[in-house]
Amino acid sequence: MKESFKLHPNQERIRDNIETLASMVDQSKPGWTRRPFTTWYEQGRTWLTQQMEQSGLQVSTDAGGNLIGKIEGSEGHLKPIMIGSHTDTVIGGGRFDGIIGVIAGLEIARRLKETGTTLRHPLEIVDFTAEEPSEFGISTIGSRTMVGNLTHEMLKRTDQTGLVLENGIRMIGGNPDNIEELARKTGDVSLYLELHIEQGPVLEQNNKQLGVVTGIVGIHRYRVIVEGKPNHAGTTPMNMRFDALTGASELVLQLETLCKASYSDPVVGTVGKFTNEPNGANVIPGRVTFELEVRSLDSEIIEMIMNKFSDFADRVAADRTLDISLDNLSKSDAIRVLPDIQDKIATACSATGKTQYLPSGAGHDANQLASIAPVGMIFVPSRDGRSHCPEEWTDFEDVTSGVEALARAIIEFDQSM
Protein backbone atom coordinates (compact mmCIF):
# COMPACT_ATOMS: atom_id res chain seq x y z
CA MET A 1 0.00 0.00 0.00
CA LYS A 2 1.28 3.43 -0.91
CA GLU A 3 2.41 5.45 2.11
CA SER A 4 0.20 8.33 3.18
CA PHE A 5 1.37 11.74 2.05
CA LYS A 6 0.50 14.97 3.79
CA LEU A 7 0.08 17.00 0.59
CA HIS A 8 -1.92 14.35 -1.29
CA PRO A 9 -3.84 16.35 -3.95
CA ASN A 10 -7.58 16.55 -4.49
CA GLN A 11 -8.35 14.82 -7.80
CA GLU A 12 -11.88 16.19 -8.16
CA ARG A 13 -10.65 19.75 -7.65
CA ILE A 14 -7.91 19.22 -10.23
CA ARG A 15 -10.47 17.86 -12.71
CA ASP A 16 -12.82 20.77 -12.09
CA ASN A 17 -10.02 23.32 -12.54
CA ILE A 18 -8.82 21.80 -15.80
CA GLU A 19 -12.35 21.59 -17.19
CA THR A 20 -13.12 25.16 -16.12
CA LEU A 21 -10.00 26.60 -17.74
CA ALA A 22 -10.57 24.45 -20.83
CA SER A 23 -13.98 26.07 -21.30
CA MET A 24 -12.37 29.46 -21.95
CA VAL A 25 -11.57 28.92 -25.62
CA ASP A 26 -12.22 30.37 -29.06
CA GLN A 27 -15.36 28.53 -30.16
CA SER A 28 -14.74 29.50 -33.79
CA LYS A 29 -11.61 27.34 -33.87
CA PRO A 30 -11.39 23.53 -33.67
CA GLY A 31 -10.58 21.68 -30.46
CA TRP A 32 -9.46 23.74 -27.50
CA THR A 33 -7.91 26.96 -28.81
CA ARG A 34 -6.63 29.66 -26.46
CA ARG A 35 -4.06 31.75 -28.25
CA PRO A 36 -2.03 34.37 -26.36
CA PHE A 37 -3.04 38.03 -26.48
CA THR A 38 -6.70 37.14 -27.14
CA THR A 39 -9.97 37.57 -25.24
CA TRP A 40 -9.97 33.90 -24.26
CA TYR A 41 -6.43 34.09 -22.94
CA GLU A 42 -7.39 37.13 -20.88
CA GLN A 43 -10.41 35.25 -19.48
CA GLY A 44 -8.19 32.37 -18.42
CA ARG A 45 -5.70 34.70 -16.79
CA THR A 46 -8.48 36.51 -14.89
CA TRP A 47 -9.83 33.21 -13.57
CA LEU A 48 -6.36 31.98 -12.65
CA THR A 49 -5.57 35.22 -10.81
CA GLN A 50 -8.74 34.82 -8.74
CA GLN A 51 -7.86 31.21 -7.90
CA MET A 52 -4.34 32.17 -6.87
CA GLU A 53 -5.56 34.96 -4.61
CA GLN A 54 -8.17 32.69 -3.00
CA SER A 55 -5.39 30.17 -2.32
CA GLY A 56 -3.38 32.75 -0.38
CA LEU A 57 -0.83 33.55 -3.08
CA GLN A 58 0.70 36.98 -3.64
CA VAL A 59 -0.11 37.60 -7.31
CA SER A 60 1.84 39.78 -9.71
CA THR A 61 2.65 40.12 -13.40
CA ASP A 62 6.29 40.58 -14.35
CA ALA A 63 7.82 42.60 -17.18
CA GLY A 64 7.23 39.81 -19.70
CA GLY A 65 3.57 39.37 -18.81
CA ASN A 66 4.16 36.17 -16.83
CA LEU A 67 1.51 35.64 -14.14
CA ILE A 68 3.21 34.72 -10.85
CA GLY A 69 1.74 33.55 -7.56
CA LYS A 70 4.14 33.50 -4.61
CA ILE A 71 4.20 31.93 -1.15
CA GLU A 72 6.87 33.18 1.22
CA GLY A 73 9.20 30.66 2.85
CA SER A 74 10.36 30.45 6.44
CA GLU A 75 13.98 31.34 5.60
CA GLY A 76 14.08 34.72 3.91
CA HIS A 77 17.61 34.41 2.53
CA LEU A 78 16.75 31.41 0.32
CA LYS A 79 15.95 31.88 -3.36
CA PRO A 80 12.58 30.59 -4.62
CA ILE A 81 11.72 27.18 -5.95
CA MET A 82 9.71 27.85 -9.11
CA ILE A 83 7.06 25.60 -10.66
CA GLY A 84 4.69 26.23 -13.54
CA SER A 85 3.95 25.93 -17.23
CA HIS A 86 1.61 27.72 -19.65
CA THR A 87 -2.10 28.11 -20.43
CA ASP A 88 -1.90 29.09 -24.11
CA THR A 89 -2.59 26.38 -26.69
CA VAL A 90 -1.89 25.69 -30.33
CA ILE A 91 -4.82 26.16 -32.71
CA GLY A 92 -7.00 23.07 -32.42
CA GLY A 93 -5.11 21.88 -29.34
CA GLY A 94 -6.14 19.90 -26.29
CA ARG A 95 -7.03 20.40 -22.65
CA PHE A 96 -3.88 19.21 -20.92
CA ASP A 97 -0.73 20.52 -22.62
CA GLY A 98 0.72 23.18 -20.35
CA ILE A 99 -2.46 23.57 -18.33
CA ILE A 100 -1.76 20.67 -15.95
CA GLY A 101 1.55 22.22 -14.89
CA VAL A 102 -0.14 25.47 -13.88
CA ILE A 103 -3.05 23.69 -12.15
CA ALA A 104 -0.51 21.46 -10.37
CA GLY A 105 1.11 24.53 -8.87
CA LEU A 106 -2.25 25.90 -7.83
CA GLU A 107 -3.24 22.61 -6.18
CA ILE A 108 0.06 22.32 -4.31
CA ALA A 109 -0.39 25.87 -3.00
CA ARG A 110 -3.84 24.92 -1.73
CA ARG A 111 -2.56 21.80 -0.03
CA LEU A 112 0.24 23.73 1.65
CA LYS A 113 -2.36 26.15 3.01
CA GLU A 114 -4.85 23.44 4.00
CA THR A 115 -2.24 21.40 5.86
CA GLY A 116 -0.50 24.37 7.46
CA THR A 117 2.78 23.44 5.76
CA THR A 118 5.47 26.09 5.35
CA LEU A 119 8.43 25.54 3.05
CA ARG A 120 11.90 26.86 3.80
CA HIS A 121 12.13 28.35 0.32
CA PRO A 122 9.66 30.76 -1.22
CA LEU A 123 7.49 28.98 -3.81
CA GLU A 124 6.63 30.70 -7.09
CA ILE A 125 3.91 29.35 -9.39
CA VAL A 126 4.14 30.75 -12.92
CA ASP A 127 1.84 30.82 -15.92
CA PHE A 128 4.39 31.69 -18.59
CA THR A 129 3.28 33.90 -21.46
CA ALA A 130 2.95 32.32 -24.93
CA GLU A 131 4.95 29.10 -24.61
CA GLU A 132 3.62 27.69 -27.88
CA PRO A 133 4.90 28.94 -31.25
CA SER A 134 3.23 32.31 -31.64
CA GLU A 135 2.00 34.40 -34.53
CA PHE A 136 5.24 36.36 -34.09
CA GLY A 137 7.33 33.33 -35.06
CA ILE A 138 8.66 32.93 -31.50
CA SER A 139 7.89 30.39 -28.79
CA THR A 140 8.53 30.51 -25.01
CA ILE A 141 8.04 34.28 -25.05
CA GLY A 142 7.39 34.59 -21.31
CA SER A 143 10.27 32.42 -20.12
CA ARG A 144 12.58 34.13 -22.60
CA THR A 145 11.72 37.50 -21.08
CA MET A 146 12.19 36.17 -17.56
CA VAL A 147 15.80 35.17 -18.27
CA GLY A 148 16.65 38.09 -20.57
CA ASN A 149 16.61 36.10 -23.80
CA LEU A 150 14.02 38.10 -25.76
CA THR A 151 15.82 40.49 -28.05
CA HIS A 152 14.82 44.00 -29.10
CA GLU A 153 14.34 42.67 -32.63
CA MET A 154 11.92 40.03 -31.33
CA LEU A 155 9.92 42.64 -29.42
CA LYS A 156 9.41 44.61 -32.65
CA ARG A 157 7.97 41.70 -34.62
CA THR A 158 4.36 41.91 -35.78
CA ASP A 159 1.68 39.29 -36.29
CA GLN A 160 -0.69 39.05 -39.26
CA THR A 161 -3.04 41.63 -37.71
CA GLY A 162 -0.27 44.21 -37.29
CA LEU A 163 0.03 43.77 -33.51
CA VAL A 164 3.58 44.43 -32.34
CA LEU A 165 4.82 41.90 -29.78
CA GLU A 166 5.86 44.52 -27.25
CA ASN A 167 2.33 45.97 -27.36
CA GLY A 168 0.86 42.49 -26.91
CA ILE A 169 2.96 42.10 -23.75
CA ARG A 170 1.64 45.45 -22.50
CA MET A 171 -1.93 44.27 -23.16
CA ILE A 172 -1.54 41.46 -20.61
CA GLY A 173 0.05 43.64 -17.94
CA GLY A 174 3.74 43.33 -18.82
CA ASN A 175 6.29 46.10 -19.20
CA PRO A 176 8.61 45.40 -22.15
CA ASP A 177 10.62 48.55 -21.44
CA ASN A 178 11.93 46.92 -18.24
CA ILE A 179 12.55 43.39 -19.49
CA GLU A 180 16.33 43.67 -19.55
CA GLU A 181 16.52 45.46 -16.21
CA LEU A 182 14.22 42.99 -14.40
CA ALA A 183 15.45 39.75 -15.98
CA ARG A 184 16.34 37.02 -13.53
CA LYS A 185 20.03 36.19 -13.25
CA THR A 186 21.91 33.01 -12.41
CA GLY A 187 21.27 32.23 -8.76
CA ASP A 188 17.98 34.16 -8.54
CA VAL A 189 16.02 30.88 -8.67
CA SER A 190 17.01 27.81 -6.63
CA LEU A 191 15.29 25.31 -8.90
CA TYR A 192 12.65 25.14 -11.63
CA LEU A 193 10.31 22.12 -11.79
CA GLU A 194 7.52 21.42 -14.26
CA LEU A 195 4.79 18.81 -14.61
CA HIS A 196 3.75 18.12 -18.20
CA ILE A 197 2.01 15.54 -20.34
CA GLU A 198 4.49 13.38 -22.24
CA GLN A 199 3.03 14.21 -25.68
CA GLY A 200 4.29 10.83 -26.87
CA PRO A 201 3.44 7.12 -26.46
CA VAL A 202 6.31 5.79 -24.33
CA LEU A 203 4.80 5.87 -20.83
CA GLU A 204 1.48 4.41 -21.95
CA GLN A 205 3.13 1.62 -23.95
CA ASN A 206 5.35 0.72 -21.01
CA ASN A 207 2.47 0.90 -18.51
CA LYS A 208 4.14 3.64 -16.46
CA GLN A 209 2.38 6.47 -14.63
CA LEU A 210 5.30 8.84 -14.32
CA GLY A 211 8.35 9.85 -16.32
CA VAL A 212 11.60 11.38 -15.09
CA VAL A 213 12.83 13.67 -17.85
CA THR A 214 16.53 13.25 -18.65
CA GLY A 215 16.87 16.07 -21.16
CA ILE A 216 14.91 18.45 -23.38
CA VAL A 217 15.53 18.94 -27.07
CA GLY A 218 16.82 22.14 -28.53
CA ILE A 219 14.65 23.69 -31.24
CA HIS A 220 15.84 25.93 -34.06
CA ARG A 221 13.14 27.59 -36.18
CA TYR A 222 13.61 29.36 -39.52
CA ARG A 223 11.43 31.20 -42.01
CA VAL A 224 12.40 30.46 -45.61
CA ILE A 225 11.37 32.78 -48.43
CA VAL A 226 11.71 31.55 -52.02
CA GLU A 227 11.14 34.20 -54.69
CA GLY A 228 10.81 33.52 -58.41
CA LYS A 229 8.62 35.14 -61.06
CA PRO A 230 4.87 34.58 -61.43
CA ASN A 231 3.80 33.95 -64.99
CA HIS A 232 1.12 32.32 -67.14
CA ALA A 233 0.99 28.56 -66.58
CA GLY A 234 -0.04 27.79 -70.13
CA THR A 235 2.20 30.02 -72.21
CA THR A 236 5.53 29.79 -70.35
CA PRO A 237 7.75 26.87 -71.49
CA MET A 238 9.04 24.55 -68.77
CA ASN A 239 12.66 25.56 -69.37
CA MET A 240 11.87 29.27 -69.10
CA ARG A 241 10.19 29.27 -65.69
CA PHE A 242 11.33 30.69 -62.37
CA ASP A 243 8.98 28.57 -60.23
CA ALA A 244 9.21 29.33 -56.51
CA LEU A 245 7.09 26.33 -55.54
CA THR A 246 9.23 23.69 -57.26
CA GLY A 247 12.31 25.23 -55.67
CA ALA A 248 10.66 25.26 -52.26
CA SER A 249 9.61 21.65 -52.75
CA GLU A 250 13.24 20.66 -53.24
CA LEU A 251 14.10 22.38 -49.96
CA VAL A 252 11.33 20.66 -48.01
CA LEU A 253 12.42 17.22 -49.25
CA GLN A 254 16.08 18.01 -48.53
CA LEU A 255 15.22 18.88 -44.92
CA GLU A 256 13.53 15.50 -44.60
CA THR A 257 16.59 13.76 -46.08
CA LEU A 258 18.98 15.55 -43.73
CA CYS A 259 16.91 14.77 -40.63
CA LYS A 260 16.42 11.09 -41.55
CA ALA A 261 20.18 10.47 -41.63
CA SER A 262 21.88 8.65 -38.74
CA TYR A 263 23.31 10.79 -35.92
CA SER A 264 24.59 10.22 -32.38
CA ASP A 265 21.30 11.66 -31.04
CA PRO A 266 17.89 11.42 -32.72
CA VAL A 267 16.81 14.34 -34.91
CA VAL A 268 13.41 15.42 -36.23
CA GLY A 269 12.70 18.14 -38.76
CA THR A 270 9.35 19.56 -39.82
CA VAL A 271 7.85 22.05 -42.24
CA GLY A 272 4.45 22.80 -40.75
CA LYS A 273 3.59 26.23 -42.15
CA PHE A 274 3.55 26.89 -45.90
CA THR A 275 2.23 29.74 -48.07
CA ASN A 276 2.19 29.83 -51.88
CA GLU A 277 1.60 33.05 -53.83
CA PRO A 278 -0.39 33.96 -55.85
CA ASN A 279 -1.91 30.51 -55.30
CA GLY A 280 -3.76 30.29 -58.60
CA ALA A 281 -4.26 27.10 -60.61
CA ASN A 282 -3.13 28.77 -63.84
CA VAL A 283 -0.28 30.90 -62.43
CA ILE A 284 3.33 29.83 -61.94
CA PRO A 285 4.09 30.41 -58.25
CA GLY A 286 6.16 33.54 -57.72
CA ARG A 287 6.74 33.46 -53.98
CA VAL A 288 6.68 30.72 -51.35
CA THR A 289 7.16 31.25 -47.63
CA PHE A 290 7.48 28.37 -45.21
CA GLU A 291 8.66 27.81 -41.65
CA LEU A 292 10.76 24.88 -40.56
CA GLU A 293 12.11 23.57 -37.29
CA VAL A 294 14.80 21.05 -36.36
CA ARG A 295 14.93 19.36 -32.94
CA SER A 296 17.59 17.29 -31.18
CA LEU A 297 19.19 16.78 -27.78
CA ASP A 298 22.46 17.81 -29.43
CA SER A 299 22.48 21.45 -30.53
CA GLU A 300 25.66 20.91 -32.57
CA ILE A 301 23.81 18.39 -34.74
CA ILE A 302 21.07 20.98 -35.39
CA GLU A 303 23.68 23.56 -36.40
CA MET A 304 25.33 21.07 -38.75
CA ILE A 305 22.02 20.19 -40.42
CA MET A 306 21.08 23.83 -40.89
CA ASN A 307 24.51 24.62 -42.38
CA LYS A 308 24.01 21.82 -44.90
CA PHE A 309 20.47 23.00 -45.58
CA SER A 310 21.68 26.56 -46.19
CA ASP A 311 24.35 25.35 -48.63
CA PHE A 312 21.71 23.30 -50.47
CA ALA A 313 19.43 26.36 -50.64
CA ASP A 314 22.23 28.33 -52.27
CA ARG A 315 22.62 25.62 -54.94
CA VAL A 316 18.87 25.51 -55.62
CA ALA A 317 18.79 29.28 -55.93
CA ALA A 318 21.63 29.22 -58.45
CA ASP A 319 20.31 26.27 -60.47
CA ARG A 320 16.76 27.66 -60.71
CA THR A 321 17.57 31.40 -60.77
CA LEU A 322 15.61 32.06 -57.60
CA ASP A 323 16.19 34.27 -54.57
CA ILE A 324 16.15 32.22 -51.34
CA SER A 325 16.56 33.69 -47.86
CA LEU A 326 16.64 32.04 -44.44
CA ASP A 327 15.58 34.00 -41.36
CA ASN A 328 16.35 32.46 -37.98
CA LEU A 329 13.17 33.03 -35.96
CA SER A 330 14.33 31.52 -32.68
CA LYS A 331 16.73 29.09 -31.05
CA SER A 332 16.43 27.21 -27.79
CA ASP A 333 19.38 25.15 -26.68
CA ALA A 334 19.08 21.50 -25.76
CA ILE A 335 19.52 20.79 -22.07
CA ARG A 336 20.50 17.76 -20.01
CA VAL A 337 18.89 17.47 -16.57
CA LEU A 338 21.55 17.13 -13.89
CA PRO A 339 21.90 13.55 -12.53
CA ASP A 340 21.27 14.67 -8.93
CA ILE A 341 18.06 16.41 -9.97
CA GLN A 342 16.95 13.30 -11.88
CA ASP A 343 17.67 11.09 -8.88
CA LYS A 344 15.62 13.17 -6.45
CA ILE A 345 12.72 13.41 -8.91
CA ALA A 346 12.91 9.65 -9.47
CA THR A 347 12.65 9.07 -5.73
CA ALA A 348 9.55 11.27 -5.56
CA CYS A 349 7.99 9.60 -8.59
CA SER A 350 8.75 6.04 -7.45
CA ALA A 351 7.02 6.75 -4.13
CA THR A 352 3.92 7.70 -6.13
CA GLY A 353 3.63 5.29 -9.06
CA LYS A 354 5.40 3.21 -11.70
CA THR A 355 8.23 5.30 -13.10
CA GLN A 356 10.76 5.38 -15.92
CA TYR A 357 13.38 7.75 -17.31
CA LEU A 358 12.89 9.33 -20.76
CA PRO A 359 13.92 12.40 -22.75
CA SER A 360 11.54 15.10 -23.96
CA GLY A 361 11.14 15.53 -27.70
CA ALA A 362 9.11 18.72 -27.14
CA GLY A 363 10.46 22.07 -26.08
CA HIS A 364 9.37 23.67 -22.79
CA ASP A 365 9.83 26.80 -20.73
CA ALA A 366 12.43 24.77 -18.82
CA ASN A 367 14.76 25.21 -21.84
CA GLN A 368 14.91 28.92 -21.06
CA LEU A 369 15.00 28.62 -17.25
CA ALA A 370 17.98 26.26 -17.53
CA SER A 371 20.14 29.29 -18.39
CA ILE A 372 19.78 30.60 -14.82
CA ALA A 373 18.88 27.61 -12.61
CA PRO A 374 18.83 23.81 -12.34
CA VAL A 375 15.67 22.38 -13.90
CA GLY A 376 13.69 19.15 -13.72
CA MET A 377 10.52 17.78 -15.28
CA ILE A 378 7.95 15.07 -14.60
CA PHE A 379 5.86 13.52 -17.36
CA VAL A 380 2.47 11.80 -17.17
CA PRO A 381 1.08 9.59 -19.97
CA SER A 382 -0.63 10.82 -23.12
CA ARG A 383 -3.29 8.46 -24.48
CA ASP A 384 -2.13 7.00 -27.81
CA GLY A 385 0.73 9.50 -27.68
CA ARG A 386 -1.57 12.25 -29.03
CA SER A 387 -1.01 15.94 -28.36
CA HIS A 388 -1.56 19.31 -30.06
CA CYS A 389 -4.92 17.99 -31.24
CA PRO A 390 -8.47 17.71 -29.84
CA GLU A 391 -7.87 14.00 -29.08
CA GLU A 392 -5.18 14.88 -26.53
CA TRP A 393 -6.05 13.08 -23.28
CA THR A 394 -4.49 12.16 -19.94
CA ASP A 395 -6.52 10.33 -17.29
CA PHE A 396 -7.20 12.56 -14.29
CA GLU A 397 -5.86 9.84 -12.01
CA ASP A 398 -2.52 10.13 -13.83
CA VAL A 399 -2.61 13.93 -13.62
CA THR A 400 -3.19 13.64 -9.88
CA SER A 401 -0.28 11.22 -9.54
CA GLY A 402 1.88 13.74 -11.35
CA VAL A 403 0.81 16.52 -8.97
CA GLU A 404 1.62 14.31 -5.99
CA ALA A 405 5.04 13.39 -7.39
CA LEU A 406 5.75 17.08 -8.01
CA ALA A 407 4.72 17.91 -4.43
CA ARG A 408 6.99 15.16 -3.08
CA ALA A 409 9.87 16.49 -5.17
CA ILE A 410 9.31 20.04 -3.90
CA ILE A 411 9.41 18.84 -0.28
CA GLU A 412 12.60 16.87 -0.94
CA PHE A 413 14.39 19.73 -2.67
CA ASP A 414 13.15 22.28 -0.11
CA GLN A 415 14.72 20.26 2.69
CA SER A 416 17.98 19.44 0.92
CA MET A 417 18.92 22.65 -0.96
8 Å CB contact between 214 and 343: no
Give the number of other Cβ atoms within 10 Å of residue 176's Cβ: 21
Q: How confident is the model at residue 4 (pLDDT cuts 50, 70, 90)?
A: low
Rounded to an integer, the average pLDDT of 107-117 is: 97
Residue 242 φ then ψ, to 5°: -125, 75
The tens digit of pLDDT for each residue in 210-223 reads 999 999 999 999 99
CATH of 11-217+334-416, picked from 3.40.630.10, 3.30.70.20, 2.40.30.10, 3.30.565.10, is 3.40.630.10
Rounded Cα–Cα distance for residues 189 and 84 (Å) = 13
* Residue-level pLDDT at 303: 96
8 Å CB contact between 225 and 324: yes
* Residue-level pLDDT at 2: 46
* Residue-level pLDDT at 137: 85
Rounded Cα–Cα distance for residues 315 and 321 (Å) = 10
> What are the domain boundaries of the chain?
11-217+334-416, 219-332
Q: How confident is the model at residue 1 (pLDDT cuts 50, 70, 90)?
A: very low
pLDDT beyond 90 at 331: no
Distance of CA 118 to the CA centre of its chain: 30
Answer positive or negative: Cα dihedral of 275, 281, 287, 288: positive
Query: Measured between alpha carbons, how far is residue 417 from residues 286, 340, 347, 378 in Å?
Result: 59, 12, 16, 19
* Residue-level pLDDT at 115: 96
Rounded Cα–Cα distance for residues 133 and 184 (Å) = 23
DSSP codes of every residue in 128-172 = ES--SPPTTS-S-HHHHHHTT---HHHHT-B-TT--BHHHHHHHT
- Could you tell me what percent of the chain has a pLDDT over 70? 99
- Could you tell me what percent of the chain has a pLDDT over 90? 95
The pTM (predicted TM-score) of the whole model is 0.85
- The secondary element (H helix, E strand) that includes residue 56 is none
Q: State the SS3 of 228-294.
A: CCCEECCCCCHHHCCCHHHHHHHHHHHHHHHHHCCCCCCEEEEEEEEEEECCCCCEECCEEEEEEEE
AA identity, residue 188:
D
CATH 3.30.70.360 is the classification of domain 219-332: yes
| Mean pLDDT across the chain | 96
* Residue-level pLDDT at 169: 97
**Quick one: CA torsion of 35, 37, 39, 44, rounded to 10 degrees?**
70
* Residue-level pLDDT at 5: 80
* Residue-level pLDDT at 332: 84
Residue 125 pairs in a beta bridge with 69, 83
pLDDT beyond 60 at 50: yes
